Amino acid sequence: MTVMEQRGAYRPSPPPAWQPRMDPAPLLPDAEPYRVLGTEAAAKADPDLLRRLYAELVRGRRYNAQATALTKQGRLAVYPSSTGQEACEVAAALALQDRDWLFPSYRDTLAAVARGLDPVQALTLLRGDWHTGYDPYEHRVAPLCTPLATQLPHAVGLAHAARLKGDDVVALAMVGDGGTSEGDFHEALNFAAVWQAPVVFLVQNNGFAISVPLAKQTAAPSLAHKAVGYGMPGRLVDGNDAAAVHEVLSDAVRHARAGGGPTLIEAITYRVDAHTNADDATRYRGDSEVETWRGHDPIALLEHELTERGLIDEAGIQAARDAAETMAADLRDRMNQDPALDPMDLFDHVYAEPTPQLREQRAQLQAELHAESEGPHR
């Protein structure tokens, strides 16, 4: 019988009672980004941690400056600087245990270095050498990821697999504000929440996706609010306050480790430099905006707190700067050495079994290199 024929007999009734699957209120981010430095919460922060964060920030700023200089000297093909974002980079590395995994984007070289990666190896890809340039298993740092947001589902997969195997592993995945518009962001967050995978998503909202400002990227109240749609907590933090980022990330890591599932953290920060050395930021933003952010600088903020509370003196500040100079000099020296490269390496590790096309190209290159070594044709 069709619905039309049933018409007379049909008695509308209310649908089964509906209830939200959970109270969304606890998932909502705070109205203001969380801050520690310059607030009462700072008194509770561990002085040793603050000093460690400071030393790493100073080293990180110097690393950014040195890597940028290397692009101008032709030693690096490209460098996406994290100047101004060092608090997020350093806190991400320090919030993890050795057994955890970091999933960085192309902007997060510093996080990888703060986690222990060799500063030169971390730049291999950006110098144009082949593949990742480091062993991801050594420090549990996944390859620096250039395709936006693709590192997020990888992090979820690894974390979920670890949980199934009973391994105590948390994955921390980093992504930019622009990356949150990618399908991979949605898929990763959805799977993470459904599986309650031990993952922490750190969005560095640095204001821009190359030249596209956040206002053209999203109409959401904040990127942290997106968490609610997936059923995980969203947190907002001042991304230039290293103590606050470290605390929020550490809380989320602990929560994930205890089986509480994923968290989405939006760190409000600012990309002080251009997108990369290949970009001219003056074409899409004014100097006054950059200057405003320089007044809320992650290093100055922490240095001020440490000095005010007598936790560091001039000698301590100088020691951090000296250590950063030593690192920069070593980076410079090693990056100025020509790497010994074999062009044939290009074909290794592409597939487990090379395709016929790759075999053909390999033979062609080999023949060309051989002809070259025989000297110029007469």
Distances (CA, A) of 24 to 3, 201, 229: 38, 19, 9
Site for ligand TPP in 207-246 (CB under 6 A): 208-210
Site for Mg ion in 19-38 (CB under 5 A): none
CA 79 to CA 111: how far, in whole Å? 14
Q: Considering the rule CB under 5 A, would residue 100 count as an interface residue with Mg ion?
A: no
Residue from 64, 81, 109, 206 binding Mg ion (CB under 5 A): 206
Q: In the annotation, is 275 catalytic?
A: yes
Helices (H) then strands (E): counts for the chain? 13, 7
Q: Among all chains, which residue has been given the structure tokens 């703060």?
A: 114
Backbone angles phi, psi at 149, to 5 degrees: 70, 0
Q: In the annotation, is 271 catalytic?
A: yes
Q: Considering the rule CB under 6 A, would residue 76 count as an interface residue with ligand TPP?
A: no
Choose, from 186, 284, 285, 332, the residue flagged as catalytic: 284
Taking CB under 5 A as the binding criterion, the range among 53-61, 119-127, 205-213, 231-239 that sits at the site for Mg ion is 205-213
Q: In the annotation, is 52 catalytic?
A: no
Q: CB-based contacts of 88: which residues, under 8 Å, 6+ apart? A: 82, 111, 174, 202, 204, 239, 245, 267, 269
Beta strands across the sheet bearing 234-238: 101-103, 171-176, 199-205, 263-268, 234-238
Residues that contact ligand TPP, how many (by CB under 6 A): 14
Strands in 70-117 per DSSP E: 101-103
Task: Tell me whether residue 208 or residue 230 sits nearer to ligand TPP (CB atom).
Answer: 208
Taking CB under 6 A as the binding criterion, the range among 10-18, 62-70, 170-178, 278-286 that sits at the site for ligand TPP is 170-178
Q: Considering the rule CB under 5 A, would residue 298 count as an interface residue with Mg ion?
A: no
Q: Least separation, in Å, of the C-beta of 222 and ligand TPP?
A: 15
Q: Which residues bind ligand TPP (CB under 6 A)?
A: 107, 146-148, 176-179, 206, 208-210, 271, 275
Query: Which residues are known catalytic residues?
Result: 271, 275, 284
